[in-house]
């Protein structure tokens, strides 16, 4: 699985003009299931993200995790994270999981994050979404598992 995470003070996602998910302090997680991914990789990604020490402690050091802070996660599917631009200017997405498999793994990842005690909000798989965020830091991290 591949994820782009951003530490935020607020984030929301809208579909057809309606807000369907929003959080205050926490992480915006753009997630992409890749070919060959399975439930084990989803659980590994959730565990890794929940424990990343990217929130500041009382001394100003990045020493606290999402679990430590009680922050939330806005989880948005984004197959374009699988973009391959090695052969020209038009990205290819053949390394992304097929839609049915991608949707199942997206839903599994949401469950995995919830099972770790993370309050979650979501986008809508396959929808045309408008995502808004206030990046905190800015802290933006790319993860592959």
Matching residue, tokens 């929301």: 12
Active site residue 109: no
Active site residue 79: yes
78, 108, 120, 122: which is the annotated catalytic residue?
78
79, 108, 109, 120: which is the annotated catalytic residue?
79
Please answer whether residues 121 and 22 qualify as being in contact, where contact means their C-beta atoms are separated by less than 8 angstroms.
yes
Report in angstroms the alpha-carbon separations of 125 from 4, 6, 129.
Answer: 16, 19, 9
Give backbone dihedrals phi and psi of 40, rounded to 5 degrees, phi first: -65, -45
Length of the chain: 145
Active site residue 134: no
Matching residue, tokens 């989880």: 75
- In whole angstroms, give the CA distance from residue 8 to residue 136: 5
19, 35, 44, 80: which is the annotated catalytic residue?
80
- In whole angstroms, give the CA distance from residue 66 to residue 52: 7
Point out the residues that are catalytic: 78-80
């Amino acid at each position: 699985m591949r994820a782009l995470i951003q530490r935020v003070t607020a984030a929301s996602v809208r579909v057809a003009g309606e807000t369907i998910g929003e959080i205050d302090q926490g992480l915006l997680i753009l997630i992409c299931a890749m070919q060959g991914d399975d439930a084990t990789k989803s659980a590994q990604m959730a565990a890794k993200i929940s424990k990343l020490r990217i929130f500041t402690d009382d001394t100003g050091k990045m020493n606290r995790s999402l679990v430590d802070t009680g922050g939330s996660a806005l989880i948005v599917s984004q197959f374009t994270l699988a973009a391959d631009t090695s052969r020209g200017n038009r990205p290819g997405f053949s390394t992304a999981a097929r839609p049915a498999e991608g949707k199942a793994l997206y839903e599994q990842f949401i469950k995995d994050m919830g099972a770790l005690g993370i309050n979650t909000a979501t986008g809508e798989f396959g929808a045309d979404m408008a995502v808004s965020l206030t990046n905190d830091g800015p802290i933006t991290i790319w993860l592959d598992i």
